[in-house]
Amino acid sequence: IGWEVYIDYKPIHVEMGNNPGFVYGFLMCSGLWRAPPPPAPVIPKGLYATVNATYKLLQDLEKQVAALRGAVNSLTTAIIIEGIIIIILAIAIVLVIRKKAPPG
């Protein structure tokens, strides 16, 4: 078993003998022979459709989460304002209760 390889455009014959690993290594390291490229991976049918559908679903979910986040922020602001009003009213009630009635 052997190969014809070219050095400076002159064909030579390399005998593999009983150590093909050495010959493969020599030819690959010297650049005289290159291993064939691996086959292209097979893309399963429907992968593109699945990826596109997932992307659209994530976009819709992102919009819904943004809307929900806005609603939660508005609700939080309203709760804080109501809490401040309740505290002010509580202080006013305490001041009115502590206020002594004028004599008379």
pTM for the structure as a whole: 0.39
- pLDDT single digits (tens) 30-85: 777 777 788 888 888 888 888 889 999 989 988 988 888 888 888 888 899 999 99
* In the chain, domain spans: 1-38, 43-104
Q: Positive or negative CA dihedral for 45, 46, 48, 50?
A: negative
Amino acid at 31: G
Q: Looking at residue 31, what is its pLDDT? A: 75
Q: Looking at residue 1, what is its pLDDT? A: 45
Q: Looking at residue 84, what is its pLDDT? A: 92
